[in-house]
Amino acid sequence: MKNIYKLMIVMFAFIAGASVITSCTKENQKPAAASSSPRADKIQPDSAKGGDVLTLTGSGLGEIQSVVFEKGSVPAPFNTVFNTDNALIFRVPDTANGGKQNIIITNKIGKQIMVNFNVIALPVISTVSNYNFTGNTQITITGNNLADVTSVKFKGFNDAITIVSQTKKELVIKMPASSTVPGAPLEITNATGPITTTQVFENLDMAYQIFTDNYGADGWANNSWGLATISTTVSKSGTASFAATYAKGNWSADGFSNWYPGLASKPEYKFLSFWVKGASQDYTLYLTADKRAKGYGNNDDTTPLTIPAKVWTYFKIPISTAGIFSTGSTANTIGFWIKGPNDQDETFYFDDVIIVNQ
C-alpha cells in the first residue's frame, strides 16, 4: 500500500512538472515577426459569402495588422491567435460588397499584399412596400446587397423596370408606365448575379378586381352587416380603401356582394389576394363567402386570418383554400367576419381585393 502511495506522489509530481514546462514553453513562444517581403501563395476558398471562413497561406505573414476588402474599404476583424508566419485565418465580413476585388492585407511595418477574391453577395430581399402595382407605381424593397443592383425585370418578360434610387439596404423601383404582364416574380441582378423573388408582383390592371380604389366595375358593392364605407384617408395602393367597422359585442360580417352577374369560376383564377390594415389590437378575422361550405356569415371559422394591430398585412390565399366556389360555380358575396370585438368598435381597412392567376 505504501509503495502505491509513493508511486502516486511521483506521478503527480511528474504531471505538475510537465505542466510547468509546457506553460513555460508557451510563454516563451513569440509570434512570427512582420516581414519586409510578405508573400501570399493561396487563399481558400477563392470565393465566398459573408461569414464564411478564409485561410490564406504563404510566407512572411506574421504580425498582420489589418485585412480590408477593397470595395467600400470594408475591414475584416480577425483573431491574432490564428496568424502565423505561414497562415492567416479570417472571415468574410457580413458587410462586404459583392463581386471580384482585392483583399488588402497589411502587416505591422506597413507592408501590404493584395489577394484576388470574389465576394458572393447576392441581393437579399427582406420586405417590400407592396406586391401590387399599376403604371408608374414606385415600390420600395429593403434587404441587403442592393447598392450594386444593375437591373430589375419581371421574370420571363422584357418590360423595363426603372431603378429610382438604391443603397446597400434599400432599392426603390418604378414599374412600367403600361404593362401587359399579369403578374410575375422579379429578377434582381447585382455584381454577384441574379436572384428571383419568391413572391409574385401583381398587375392590378390585369387582375379581376373586387375592390381597389372603388368597387369592381362589373357589379360589386358593399355587403356589410355593420357600418362600412370607402375611405379616402387610408389606403395601401392608390387613393382609397374599404373601411369596415365591427360593432362592440357583435359577431358580424362585412364585405362585398355582386348579385349580377356575380363572380364566375374560371380555371385561370388561382388566388384571392388582399391587404388588411389592423385595428387597435391584434384580432382574428375569418374569410366568408356565400358559396363556401357554410355560406356567408358568422359560423364559419375554417379560414382564420391573423390581423396584427395598426399595420398592413398581405394575404394571398389559393382559391381552393378560400373555397369561394365550394358549393357553386358563381360567387355572389365575399367578406370577413369577427367574433366580437368585446371592448369597443373596431375598424379594419381592406385594399386591393383581387383575383389573380399566379
Convert the pLDDT of each residue in 266-288 to its tens digit. Answer: 999 999 999 999 999 999 999 99
Nearest residue to 138 via CA among 167, 116, 168, 171: 171
Query: Rounded to a whole number, what is the distance in angstroms from the first to the last CA of the chain?
Result: 85
Q: Which residue has the higher pLDDT, 103 or 191?
A: 103
Mean pLDDT, all residues of the chain: 92
Q: Quickly name the fold that domain 35-120 has.
A: Immunoglobulin-like (2.60.40)
Instruction: Determine the Cα–Cα distance for residues 155 and 192; give it in Å rounded to an integer.
Output: 18
Instruction: Determine the Cα–Cα distance for residues 181 and 12; give it in Å rounded to an integer.
Output: 81
16: three-class secondary structure by DSSP: helix
Q: What is the pLDDT of residue 41?
A: 97
Q: What is the pLDDT of residue 160?
A: 85
Grid coordinates given for 128? 417590400
Is the pLDDT at 21 greater than 60? The verdict is: no
pLDDT band at 155 (very low <50, low <70, confident <90, very high): very high
Is the pLDDT at 18 greater than 90? The verdict is: no
Residue ranges covered by each domain of the chain: 35-120, 124-203, 207-356
| Domain 35-120 identical in fold to domain 207-356 | no
Instruction: Determine the Cα–Cα distance for residues 283 and 310; give it in Å rounded to an integer.
Output: 11
Cβ neighbours of residue 210 closer than 8 Å, sequence gap 6 or more: 216, 220, 256, 258, 263, 334, 353, 354, 355
Share of the chain above pLDDT 70, in %: 92
Angle at Cα 43 formed by Cα 41 and Cα 46, nearest 5°? 130
Q: Over the stretch 177-190, which tens digit does the pLDDT of each residue have?
A: 989 999 999 999 99
Taking a C-beta distance cutoff of 8 angstroms, is the pair 330, 257 a contact?
no
Query: Is this structure's pTM higher than 0.75?
Result: yes
Is the pLDDT at 244 greater than 50? The verdict is: yes
Taking a C-beta distance cutoff of 8 angstroms, is the pair 354, 183 a contact?
no
Q: Quickly name the fold that domain 207-356 has.
A: Jelly Rolls (2.60.120)
Range 124-203 classified under CATH 3.20.20.10: no
Q: How many residues does the chain have?
A: 358
